[in-house]
Amino acid sequence: MAASPPTPDGDQGVYGISVAAELVGLPAANLRLYEARGLLEPARTDGGTRRYSANDLTRLRRISDLLDAGVNLTGIGLLLDLQDENQQLRDQIDADTPPTT
């Protein structure tokens, strides 16, 4: 039986900037801008090359959707921060809640 190749977790940076930009349908310059504005922080190789994860791609699509809805980059930053905080609180609640039987 052949072993299946390992699959990266959602946080592992595996895509270079040009591949990530193509996958989300945005120019690479936009990805650099969003990083400069603090909207995402891709992993970096030892040489400094950006590596985008599956979670980064999801976040980039969310940024694009919010821009299409008319939200500016400052507003997007606030919304994403609130969503991240909300998810952390939900994860904490889930971890603290015993399973029901």
Per-domain residue ranges for the chain? Answer: 17-96
Nearest to 49 by CA among 82, 85, 11, 19: 19
- Average pLDDT for residues 10-21, to the nearest whole number? 92
pLDDT tens track for 34-50: 999 999 999 999 999 99
Residue that is written with structure tokens 């072993």 in the block: 3
pLDDT at 9: 73
DSSP helix/strand/coil, 6: coil
pLDDT at 4: 64
Mean residue pLDDT of the chain comes to: 91
The answer to whether 51 and 14 have CB atoms below 8 angstroms apart is: yes
pTM confidence score: 0.80
Q: Does domain 17-96 have CATH number 1.10.1660.10?
A: yes
